[in-house]
Amino acid sequence: MTDRLSGKVALVTGASSGIGQATALAFARAGAKVVAASRRDAEGQETVRRIQEAGGEALFIKTDVSKASEVEALVNKTMDTYGRLDCACNSAGVISASSLLTDVSEDEWDRHINVNLKGTWLCLKYEIPAMLKQKSGAIVNLASAASIVAFAGYAAYAATKGGILALTRSAAIEYAKSGIRINVVSPGSINTDMLNSATEDIVSQLAAAHPVGRVGEPEEVAEAVVWLCSKAASFVTGHNMLIDGGYSVQ
């Protein structure tokens, strides 16, 4: 544990696995009290257990970020429990198997929009007023290298991540003078459950596509999120931090 975020309260959506879980654990290591949110109850509770086992404080709230009532309840419960909200990482998201855009069903398109883009907007919609009460706060949204680099077969996913990038920039401008910093991280290929389901050949290709010669780890993204929420990044807002092993600069 460190004291970088001692006395702070951090909320993380998508905290049941991957980058979201790693970020929740990283916030706790930095000294923050953590509210972990996810649709998956057992996995979310496991995140809380790991934080508590390491000596941290955490609370799990089951949440579907595509539903306004549940996001509002999440933030209200956070405020009722801790009385403040200092940091938030809006990590919840979905991605479908590769498919040409003309083969994407309307249901799949709507699912991406509702969870990835609408879900991020809803989180901002309710997190920002909570932070305005204390006139300070830091939010990090999760986009993707796909927000600026084209990946064939992932049009729906890329469209939502590009939308998150634009949404973040607009929000950052709107609330900069209110003491709230809003940034976005855009990971490349990261070693999560989604990647683990791919074949060894695909994983090897992805690793080779990154100049550093490997895929990233969730903890590497999590550390960037914590930095963006810390005082060390006090003059950073509206920024898209690419965490992609150099993929996007090729």
Report how far residue 182's alpha carbon sits from residue 241's, in angstroms, rounded to the nearest whole number: 12
Report how far residue 109's alpha carbon sits from residue 156's, in angstroms, rounded to the nearest whole number: 6
**Residues 181-195 as b or e (16 or more Cβ within 10 Å = b):** bbbbbbbbbbbbeeb
Taking the chain, what is the end-to-end CA distance rounded to the nearest angstrom?
37
**φ/ψ of residue 179, rounded to 5:** 85, 10
Contact predicate 236/172, CB 8 Å: no
Report how far residue 131's alpha carbon sits from residue 136's, in angstroms, rounded to the nearest whole number: 6
> In the chain, which residue ranges form alpha helices assigned H by DSSP?
18-29, 41-53, 68-82, 106-112, 119-132, 155-175, 193-196, 200-209, 218-229
User: Catalytic residue among 154, 157, 175, 247, which?
Assistant: 157
**Helix or strand or coil: residue 142?**
strand
Is 154 known to be catalytic? no
Catalytic residue numbers read 157
